[in-house]
Amino acid sequence: MTGKNIGKRLAIVLEGEVQSAPVIRSRITDRGQITGNFTPEEARELQIVLKSGAMPAPVEFRYQSIVGPSLGGDSIRKGVKSVIIGGILVVLFMALYYKLSGIIADLVLVLNMVFILAVLAGFQATLTLPGIAGIVLTIGMAVDANVLIFERIREELRSGKTPRAAVDGGFSKALLTILDANITTVIAAVVLFQFGTGPVRGFAVTLTVGIIASLFTALFVSRLIFDFLLAKVEMKKVSI
């Protein structure tokens, strides 16, 4: 085309506007050169126009594959189902084995879950499968703290102490063990967050929030409920 039109202008059009119209001096076989009285700014602008207006190559679809969210959605549903089933089994076991004290632990566990979800909602975090796994592990850690306290209270009651003294002794003797177990888990979660990738970090964040919430509920809220029952209700015997 350029060989047949030597001496004529070749317009450079972009979006319906003629940006430049150089004269064809010779046949262009591979590369061309535009010469003229250009300032550096005009040369840069013309370069941008030439790059922006490159002729598009035709695209033909040979194969198309779409990955839908059904697999991920199914995994999330199964994860939530596992949390619900595991939570119900834990609640039933605690209520049957520790009686009234187990019911208190169940109430504390529900409050613990509310705290975790509230913190995650406050940070606008997305609940993923690793996050659900962190919640499941938190349920176990929260129940573990209550079991340690209840077993210490049982030991104090067997030694002949009053309900008030047994509760005081149970919480004080279990305190160091609970702190030791939970603090070491928090350290591990911090390391996971520091060196892990996205899903691992999500698990670490949920686990850390859950452990802090479980420490608060097990050591403070449970104690508050026991003190209320012993002082205000004047409970003469600890159902445990």
Whether 237 has a pLDDT exceeding 70, the answer reads yes
Q: What integer pLDDT is reported at residue 125 of this predicted model?
A: 73
Q: Using 50, 70 and 90 to split pLDDT, how confident is the model at 69?
A: low
Is residue 10 located within the same domain as residue 44? Answer: yes
Is residue 37 located within the same domain as residue 78? Answer: no
Is residue 190 located within the same domain as residue 102? Answer: yes
For residue 168, what are the CA distances in angstroms to 95, 156, 173, 219?
22, 9, 9, 11
Is residue 218 located within the same domain as residue 143? Answer: yes
The region of weakest confidence among 37-51, 59-73, 218-232 is 59-73
Burial environment of residue 4 by CB neighbours within 10 A (0 to 12, 13 to 18, 19 or more): exposed
CB 240 within 8 A of CB 100: yes
Measured CA to CA, the distance from residue 113 to residue 132 in angstroms comes to 11
Q: Using 50, 70 and 90 to split pLDDT, how confident is the model at 76?
A: confident
Whether 234 has a pLDDT exceeding 80, the answer reads no
> Is the whole model's pTM more than 0.85, yes or no?
no
- Give counts: helices (H), strands (E), the chain: 6, 2
- On whether residue 58 sits in a domain, the answer given is no
- On whether residue 186 sits in a domain, the answer given is yes
- On whether residue 10 sits in a domain, the answer given is yes
Measured CA to CA, the distance from residue 158 to residue 186 in angstroms comes to 34
Percent of the chain with pLDDT over 90: 0
CA angle 221, 224, 226 (to 5 degrees): 110
Kindly report, residue by residue over 108-165, the tens digit of the pLDDT. 888 888 888 888 888 777 777 777 888 888 887 778 888 888 888 888 888 888 888 8
Q: Please, what is the average pLDDT of the chain? A: 82
Kindly report, residue by residue over 202-227, the tens digit of the pLDDT. 888 888 888 888 888 888 888 888 88
- On whether residue 195 sits in a domain, the answer given is yes
Q: What integer pLDDT is reported at residue 239 of this predicted model?
A: 78
Mean pLDDT of 39-64: 76
Q: What is the DSSP string of 66-117?
A: ---SHHHHHHHHHHHHHHHHHHHHHHHHHHHHHHHHHHHHHHHHHHHHHHHH
- On whether residue 171 sits in a domain, the answer given is yes
Is residue 84 located within the same domain as residue 44? Answer: no
Angle between helices 70-122 and 222-231 (to 10 degrees): 60
> In total, how many domains does the chain have?
2
For residue 82, what are the CA distances in angstroms to 69, 89, 112?
20, 11, 18
- What CATH code is carried by the domain that includes residue 85? 1.20.1640.10
Is residue 77 located within the same domain as residue 174? Answer: yes
- On whether residue 61 sits in a domain, the answer given is no
Q: Dihedral through CA 101, CA 105, CA 106, CA 107, nearest 10? A: 100
Q: What integer pLDDT is reported at residue 70 of this predicted model?
A: 58
Is residue 92 located within the same domain as residue 9? Answer: no
Is residue 80 located within the same domain as residue 122? Answer: yes
Is residue 44 located within the same domain as residue 94? Answer: no
- On whether residue 65 sits in a domain, the answer given is no
Q: What integer pLDDT is reported at residue 189 of this predicted model?
A: 87
**Domain interval for residue 191:** 72-231
Q: What integer pLDDT is reported at residue 137 of this predicted model?
A: 81
- On whether residue 163 sits in a domain, the answer given is yes
Listed residue (193, 81, 90) closest to 139, CA to CA:
90
Is residue 224 located within the same domain as residue 126? Answer: yes
